[in-house]
Amino acid sequence: MIGKFFRKMTGATQSPPRVSGMEVFWSWLGSFLGIAAVAYLNDGFLEKTDLVLIIGSFGASAVLIYGAIKSPLAQPRNLLGGHILSACIGVSAWKLLFVHPWLAAALAVSVSIAAMHLTKTLHPPGGATALIAVIGGPKIHQLGYLYIVMPVAAGALIMLAVALVVNNLAPTRRYPEYWY
């Protein structure tokens, strides 16, 4: 029993192969352009407003939609669904439980993961999107449910548009694998 328990910790297989240099290049280009788009719009137009267009979880999304584009986690359904659903849950958690921030944070992330599972929209950065709604500070809290539309939905859509262009320009790439 105990032996088996510890044996399971030793691993069972090897790490997948490294991708080619071209693949690295396209991952770099896509993520550069995707993050550049949201960051540039954020800095250029929203600097002096209360609005934001970029949040930390987009960096994680970039890994998936420009770097692991075949993954089910990286498909448009997951990108948009995961972010938007988690944003709703994150904002609600903050509004209902802001007196216990630790509980709001834990529930925001855990309920988001469960909801993404149930809706087949699992997208790891969604967990961060939910968490940011709770721990993102006054500027994020002020947005209230607007957080779902902007930055979350708007930013995710811009990044998706860049992913569709860049990933399909690459001769060895195709994106998405599926929409729904």
Partner 1 sequence: MGNEEDDRVKRGSTAGVELKEEDIMAAMQEIHGYLDITPGDFKQIYILAYQHALERLSRELTAAEIMTRKVISVTADTPLAEVAEAMGKRGVSGVPVVDDQGRVVGVISEKDFLRSMGVKDSQNFMTLVASCLRSKGCVALPIKKQAAGDLMSTPAVTVTPEARMRDMAELFTQRRINRAPVTDKEGRLVGIVTRGDLIRATLQGARP
The C-alpha angle with vertex 155 and arms to 151 and 157, in degrees rounded to 5, equals 135
Of residues 15 and 49, the one with the C-beta less far from partner 1: 15
Q: 72 with 78: CB under 8 angstroms?
A: yes
Q: DSSP letter for 12, please.
A: S
Peptide bond into 124 cis (omega under 30): no
Of residues 27 and 129, the one with the C-beta less far from partner 1: 27
Of residues 68 and 169, the one with the C-beta less far from partner 1: 68
Q: 79 with 156: CB under 8 angstroms?
A: yes
Q: Minimum distance between the CB of residue 123 and partner 1, rounded to whole angstroms? A: 13
Q: Minimum distance between the CB of residue 70 and partner 1, rounded to whole angstroms? A: 5
Binding site for partner 1 (CB under 8 A): 12-17, 19-20, 23, 27, 67-74, 172-173
Q: Minimum distance between the CB of residue 71 and partner 1, rounded to whole angstroms? A: 4
